[in-house]
Amino acid sequence: MRAANRKQALIPEGAYVIDPVGTAPGVVVPGKPAVVVLPGPPRELQPMWRTAVASEPVREAIAGHTEYRQEMVRMFGLPESGLADTLRDAEEGIEGYGELEITTCLRRGEIEMVTRFEPRAAPVYAELLELLRDRHARDIFSEDGSSIDDQVVQLLASRRIATAESCTAGLLAARLTDRPGSSAYVAGGVVAYANEAKVELLGVDPVLIERHGAVSEPVADAMAEGALRRFEADTAVAITGIAGPDGGSEEKPVGTVCWSVQLADGRGLTRTVRLPGDRADIRDRSTTVAMHLLRRVLSEPAALTPVAAASGDRATADPASARSHPR
């Protein structure tokens, strides 16, 4: 055994050993204070930390200390400045606001707001949550910390989805299949980067591409229709856009992306948005927007209208309901 690996196996006498997630174990050394030693990589640290906190030495060390509640609200479509304005008003108008510890983070085009507080401050948090609902109801998609991916997986139960991707080149399919058991609802996907692939693999009419361009709502609709047919699915998502850094024009600048979400019964949603950021940002955010459009289509079917055959004349739901997430 190499000396470096042998060293990892050494532990202080009397220490509580935490099984490693990677190669390095963790230890909790009892005493005052108790000492917790864990590896640094987050992938290893996070699950091992939960085990450490549950160990007897750590429980004894924190006995009698205040336990805090933590709640998370996730929002999409709201700029950070908009949430900041609301929190400033809350600070001025909600009594006891100072008892809440609030952190916000912009991640993949979504805002995560984490609030920590002592149990006695629960009514203060409830008042804050009511203010958020009042001002940002259309932007809040999770009050229990569940991610958009969690919600879409639940909505896809007993369904069969297919993807047709151009600028994202399979990133949406990868996101949908990231969880174990995804074969129960993902039928397959097509990466149709070239126009010829859109025509041959998805059955897009070349006249549509010539008339509207590959990055257009009619072509996105036709791609989604092709995915429905090819995989005999009941749900399809198509993405076509200009991720850059080249390829943009005055009419369609870099960041222009079109989405189409369609159901086999003819209902669907088609959107065009200009996303900010570099190539990696645009591609990643495109998958996030697709997930949110998919969530809306599957959770609010009554709000949708039938999508006509891809010809440029489509019936869609309220265009204000899908927006980019400016920073």
> Is residue 149 pLDDT above 50, yes or no?
yes
How far apart, in Å, do the first and last CA atoms of the chain sit?
Answer: 51
> How does pLDDT run across 183-233, given as a tens digit for each residue?
999 999 999 999 999 999 999 999 999 999 999 999 999 999 999 999 999
> Is residue 313 pLDDT above 60, yes or no?
no
Least confident of 30-34, 258-262, 319-323: 319-323
Residue the block writes with tokens 């949550």:
129
- HSE-CB of 47 using CA atoms within 13 angstroms: 7
Per-residue pLDDT at 34: 87
Query: What pTM value is reported for the model?
Result: 0.82
- Under the banding of pLDDT at 50, 70 and 90, the label for residue 9 is confident
Per-residue pLDDT at 301: 67
> How does pLDDT run across 10-40, given as a tens digit for each residue?
888 888 899 989 888 899 999 888 899 999 9
Average pLDDT of the residues of the chain: 90
- Whether the bond between 79 and the residue before it is cis, its omega within 30 degrees of 0, is no
Please state, as a whole number, how many other Cβ atoms lie within 10 Å of the Cβ of residue 175.
Answer: 21
